[in-house]
Amino acid sequence: MSERPLILVTRTLMPDAEARLLRSFKARLSADDVPLSTQEIIAAAEGVDGILISPTDRLDADAVTALPPGVRIIACHSVGVDNVNIEAARRRGIVVTNTPDVLSAATTEIALLLMLGAARRASEGERLIRGGNWKYWAINFMVGTEMTGKRLGIIGMGRIGQLVAKRARGFDMTIHYWNRRRLPPELEGGAQFHERIEELLPQADFLSIHCPLTDETRGLLNAERLALLPRGAIVVNTARGPIIDDEALIAALRSGQVAAAGLDVFTDEPRINPAYLTLDNTFLLPHVGSATRETRTAMGIKAIANLEAFFQGDAPPDRVV
């Protein structure tokens, strides 16, 4: 790179990632680390060669089309690229990259935390303590659901789904999964594949969602499918909020069809459905699946490595389009 390209960075990076960025590029950095509107991103992209965006940035077809002509690459600081209209980027000839692999362990930890927290009524218990309302111990006090020995259903058996299955075996859980295609036996690790989600759900005492958000998976877990779960199942989502039909899940939580839900992602976050806040049987986190120093740094480095490869004339290692 003889002339250093100019990169728009919409959110503040981890320190080591930002340092690498500034060694390789000129940068237009976020001044106050608040989410930008689509129009603000378009305006800020004037004169830049590439954009490094976060999952909170939304670039629909109109926005991608409206980006200044100099924008040649969009590097996503995420695995999911559902916030960018891929077809519009393809039509514009804009390369889109993501950051796979490096966040599997951190997201798996959060998935297990959500399973345990939801099943063992962690939010409810902490509120009792903090509110000074824990008055006594009793045999039937704060009774929850045990994970050990239960059946875990996984929707989406990619890198994260496979690691969740591996960790869950430490709880002696039996693994059932649905995926677009069956894994080879060495990756299944004894897990049972189901060709249809409707066949998987009755086998899931715990259900963990790890598929990408697409037109096909939006609203995938609806009222009809929730009804197929064993009564009292635990539902966990660390993928994308819109994969779940919120109203359907809330109704199932109220009826007891779903005993509890652990959620790290939400539709239209951070403005989540307020009904979730009224339910004792929800364990809620603010989209922190990848939020460790190690992982967020690695994600930033990966996004920058994709930019470096592109502007050096090489194929970005994590090119989506």
Residues of the chain with pLDDT under 70: 1-2
Helices (H) and strands (E) in the chain, counts: 13, 12
Q: What number of CA atoms fall less than 13 Å from residue 246's CA on the CB side?
A: 17
User: Does the predicted model carry a pTM greater than 0.75?
Assistant: yes
Name the catalytic one among 121, 159, 176, 240: 240
Name the catalytic one among 124, 182, 269, 319: 269
Please state the φ and ψ torsions of residue 223, each to the nearest 5 degrees. Answer: -60, -40
Is the separation of the CB atoms in 27 and 21 below 8 Å?
A: yes
- Look up the CATH number of domain 6-102+293-311: 3.40.50.720
Question: How many Cβ atoms from other residues are within 10 Å of residue 146's Cβ?
Answer: 10
**pLDDT value of residue 2:** 61
Concerning whether 196 is annotated as a catalytic residue, the answer is no
Name the catalytic one among 120, 194, 287, 296: 287
**pLDDT value of residue 278:** 97
Across the chain, the runs of DSSP E, i.e. the strands, are: 6-9, 26-28, 50-53, 73-76, 95-97, 151-155, 174-178, 192-193, 206-209, 233-237, 258-263, 282-284
How confident is the prediction for the chain on average, in pLDDT? 97
Question: How many Cβ atoms from other residues are within 10 Å of residue 145's Cβ?
Answer: 18
Domain limits, CATH 3.40.50.720, in the chain: 6-102+293-311, 104-284
Is the separation of the CB atoms in 167 and 197 below 8 Å?
A: no
Residues whose CB is less than 8 angstroms from the CB of residue 47 and which lie 6 or more positions away in sequence, other chains included: 6, 68, 70
- Look up the CATH number of domain 104-284: 3.40.50.720
Concerning whether 287 is annotated as a catalytic residue, the answer is yes
Overall residue count recorded for the chain in this entry: 321
